[in-house]
Amino acid sequence: MRTVKTAAIRDAVAAMLSKCTIDAEPFITDSFEKALETERNPVARGFLEQLQENYRLAGQKRLPICQDTGCDAVFVELGQSVCLEGDYIEDMINEGIRRATKEAYLRASMVKDPIKRGNTGDNTPAMVHYEIVPGDTVRISVLPKGAGCENMSRIAMLRPADGIEGIKKVVLNAVVEGGGNHCPPLCIGVGIGGSFEKVASLAKAALLLPFNERSGIPHIAELEDELITMINESDVGPQGLGGDTTAIGLRVLSCPTHIASLPVAVNISCHALRRATMVL
Ligand code: SF4
């Protein structure tokens, strides 16, 4: 067994959140550069240039790239040969969030109760997903998401007969119905298969994948290409104002499902994709 201190998990969460909420990842800025080479709509071009400037200023002034610093999804892949030492892991994850909220001037965006509301004041609690995996390391990822894009995410329990065309319809409808509310250009995670709860977590986990790669499953890789092409032909465009650049990244995760089911989930991230991973 290898020992990992939960204090190290707290420190990793704080460090990752403080950085990814301020520094746009190169994939995003490179994608905007590339989009500006082909975008034909002048309004969309202007908006892409404004976003580039926003990212540049955020990095320079050390301020968050968007005011909505989000609800923190945290993914923990815990090696089954790891012995955790210290305070309860989830308390330490939340402590890391508290620290980042203070140090990186993140907006307090969480409420205590979905009906009664009441801000918790420090962005806690996180939505934590645990997975026990082989090995002796802890892989921890953070994915803070604003409500604009999270609210536009969708889930559909299709019938198998709906097939690939049904899947495409669900994804395209989610993007088009979102208009400008989810702040395009988007990064999109799609889950296919599993059950009601599993497909939603697949869609969210897909947002952690590299967007410049494709699935190792040939027909899923093909679907990833088809979906992003279809979305970019929708003319939703940056901030929903029209244009060729509606999505800059899309990944699909799939898994086995019931003979009578075809669950599909779409988890949408705005252009302000914030994510980071560390292995301890
Ligand atoms: S959807 Fe994204 S870019 Fe738009 S306000 Fe929310 S966090 Fe910011």
Show the 3-state SS of the chain: CEEEEHHHHHHHHHHHHHHHCCCCCHHHHHHHHHHHHHCCCHHHHHHHHHHHHHHHHHHHHCCCCCCCCCEEEEEEEEECCEEEECCCHHHHHHHHHHHHHHHCCCCCCCECCCCCCCECCCCCCCEEEEEEECCCCEEEEEEEECHHHHCCCEEEEECHHHHHHHHHHHHHHHHHHHCCCCCCCEEEEEEEEECHHHHHHHHHHHCCCCCCCCCCCHHHHHHHHHHHHHHHCCCCCHHHCCCCCCEEEEEEEEEEECCCCEEEEEEEECCCCCCEEEEC
User: Ligand 1 atom 7: the closest Cα is on which residue?
Assistant: 146
For the stretch 7-52, pLDDT in tens is: 999 999 999 999 999 999 999 999 999 999 999 999 999 999 999 9
User: Ligand 1 atom 4: the closest Cα is on which residue?
Assistant: 183
CB 172 within 8 A of CB 266: no
pLDDT of the residue at 108: 96
CB 232 within 8 A of CB 245: yes
CB 48 within 8 A of CB 242: no
Ligand 1 centroid to residue 237 C-alpha, Å? 15
The residue type found at 181 is N
User: Ligand 1 atom 1: the closest Cα is on which residue?
Assistant: 148
Ligand 1 centroid to residue 133 C-alpha, Å? 33
CB of 186 shorter than 6 A to ligand 1: no
Ligand 1 centroid to residue 82 C-alpha, Å? 37
Ligand 1, atom nearest to 182 Cα: 1
- The pTM of the full predicted model, rounded to 2 decimals, is 0.96
For the stretch 101-160, pLDDT in tens is: 999 999 999 999 999 999 999 999 999 999 999 999 999 999 999 999 999 999 999 999
CB of 150 shorter than 6 A to ligand 1: no
CB 129 within 8 A of CB 74: yes
CB of 182 shorter than 6 A to ligand 1: yes
CB of 106 shorter than 6 A to ligand 1: no
pLDDT of the residue at 86: 98
Q: With 0-12 CB in 10 A as exposed, 13-18 as middle and 19+ as buried, what is 183?
A: buried
Ligand 1, atom nearest to 67 Cα: 8
Ligand 1, atom nearest to 68 Cα: 7
pLDDT of the residue at 262: 98
- The tokens of 277 are what? 């991973």
Residues 68-91, mean pLDDT to the nearest whole number: 97
Ligand 1 centroid to residue 257 C-alpha, Å? 33
Whole-Å CA distances, 222 to 47, 185, 214, 219, 251: 30, 21, 9, 5, 11
CB of 183 shorter than 6 A to ligand 1: yes
pLDDT of the residue at 208: 98
CB of 272 shorter than 6 A to ligand 1: yes
∠ CA 75-212-220, rounded to 5°: 80
CA distance 14 to 142: 10
CB of 231 shorter than 6 A to ligand 1: no
Residues 212-219, mean pLDDT to the nearest whole number: 98
- The tokens of 169 are what? 């319809």
pLDDT of the residue at 117: 97
Q: Which residues pair with 127 in a beta bridge?
A: 73
